[in-house]
Every structure is written in structure tokens, then in C-alpha cells.
Amino acid sequence: MTIHGGASLVLSGCLLAAACTAKSRPDRNDWEAQRSDMINSQLRARGISDARVLAAMTKVPRHLFVPEDVRWRAYDDTPLPIGHDQTISQPYIVGYMSEALELRPTDRVLEIGTGSGYQAAILGELAHEVYTIEIVPQLAEQARAALEQSGYRNVHVRQGNGYLGWPEAAPFDRIIVTAAPDQVPQALVDQLAIGGIMVVPVGGVYDDQVMKIIRKTEKGVITRETLPVRFVPMVKGSGS
């Protein structure tokens, strides 16, 4: 259920047991080879071509952001559970969203939905500064620890309500949302700089979701719909 390309549905959550079927466990010490295969068979083969994105995903050790019990599947072509009904997105969707952001080394980025911290680490390789918000306290703490241990001093983690964004750090050159709201939060649009890009999956709970790429201009926003997707829903919190 994680096949991509054309009009195929892109999954960002391990929603059915069939999506996480077991296979023979690879050599745990062979992470580099698995990462190289991920880049070639899952990203390049599906059209991800941005050299900086490919370099970042080659460099970042995805397995360090995956729970120990599923770490052996870290480079599989599927999302994986990380606890608290959340997932780490499959490699392709991380590459796709990162490429769609058209990131520059000088950009300041807001991420909504830190999760494991893996996408934030990729952003940390590509942008000047990253602000990332996670509503689940335990995941926020785990991601903060993983990012600090991996040396990402330019990534700032906050536990809070992603619908509110991070107003005191705005405006942001780029915004990425890694869970699906039923509509684009206005606070995030407001915090996107003129000329900025937001990449966000939008739709109901697992159904009829589509990836939207939003560009903010002086005259308003321009929205383009791309892939049909399936993400965990974006949770509405009551506070910051």
C-alpha cells in the first residue's frame, strides 16, 4: 500500500498490518548500503532529482530516528509506527516534500509535526534554521534528544499546538506540515513570508487527502494540488 508514481496513493502512515508485513531482517551493520539503495530505488527511480535533497537523505541516518523494535525496517519503502498513533513517513514522501519546498541554504523553515525528528534533520541539512512543533510531549522530547545527539544545533523543537504556528519566530520562508488538517490553518498562511512556499497534505481523516503546494504572493496565495496522499490527521490542541 505504499507504491507511488502517477496517480497512485502515497501513504504516510502504517494504517494496515498488510502495509508493515515482515521480511527477513537485514544486517544491522549495513545501514549505509541500505540508505544507498533507498536513494536509488525509492527516490531517484520515482523522480526525486534535487541534488541537495538526495545528498541530505544520503547523509542523515534514518535508522537513528526509528524506534528500536522496527529499526531493522528503517529503510523500507513504507511508513513506520513511532508510538502514540504517529508514524515516520516513508522515505519517498520525505524526499518529495523536501524537494517541493525548493529550499535554499538561507531559508528559515517551520515544520508542523516533528514526529521522530527525521524530517527536521533533513531540513536542518538544507536550510539555515528550522523551527519544528510537535503536539505529543513524549515525541517532542524524544525528537529533541535525537536531533541534539545528531548535532543539529539549527533545529529548534517546541511541544505545542501546530495550528497556532510559531508566531514570535515568523515570518518563515518555508512551511511544511507532516500531518493532515481538514483545511489549511490560516495562522500558518499568515506566518508564511511573501514569496514563501508551504507544502501541506489536506483532507479528511485518511480519506480524500491531497498534497497542496502553496505559494504566497503580494496578491494572495496560489495553490497547486499534486499527489493523493494518506497522512495521520493533524491534531487540534487547546493551547500553545
The dihedrals phi and psi of 202, each to the nearest 5 degrees, come to -135, 135
What's the CATH code of the domain at 207? 3.40.50.150
Q: Is residue 43 part of a domain?
A: yes
Q: What is the pLDDT of residues 62-104, one digit of tens each?
A: 999 999 999 999 999 999 999 998 999 999 999 999 999 999 9
- Scanning 101-196, the segments in alpha helix (DSSP H) are 118-126, 137-149, 186-191
Report yes or no on whether pTM surpasses 0.85. yes
Q: Is residue 235 part of a domain?
A: no
Q: Is 177 helix (H, G, I), strand (E, B) or coil?
A: strand
* Beta bridge pairs of residue 131: 110, 156
Q: Is residue 5 part of a domain?
A: no
- Listing DSSP states for 6-61 in one string gives TTPPEESS--SGGGG---PPPPTT-HHHHHHHIIIIIIGGGT---HHHHHHHHHS-
Please say if 8 is a catalytic residue.
Answer: no
Among 5-19, 105-119, 156-170, the least confident range: 5-19
Average pLDDT value for the chain: 89
Q: What is the pLDDT of residues 178-220, one digit of tens each?
A: 999 999 999 999 999 999 999 999 998 767 899 999 999 999 9
Whether residue 24 is predicted with pLDDT greater than 80 in this model: the reply is no
Number of domains in the chain: 1
- Does the bond joining 171 to the residue before it have cis omega, within 30 degrees of 0? yes
- Looking at 8, 12, 89, 240, which residue is catalytic? 89
Q: Is residue 4 part of a domain?
A: no
- % the chain with pLDDT above 90: 83
Joined together, the cell numbers standing for residue 238 give 487547546
Of residues 105 and 236, more confidence is placed in: 105
Q: Is residue 125 part of a domain?
A: yes
Range of the domain at 27: 10-230
CA distances from 69 to 31, 72, 81, 82, 136 (A): 16, 8, 10, 10, 20
Burial of 122 (0-12, 13-18, 19+ CB in 10 A): buried
Q: Hey, what amino acid is at 121?
A: A
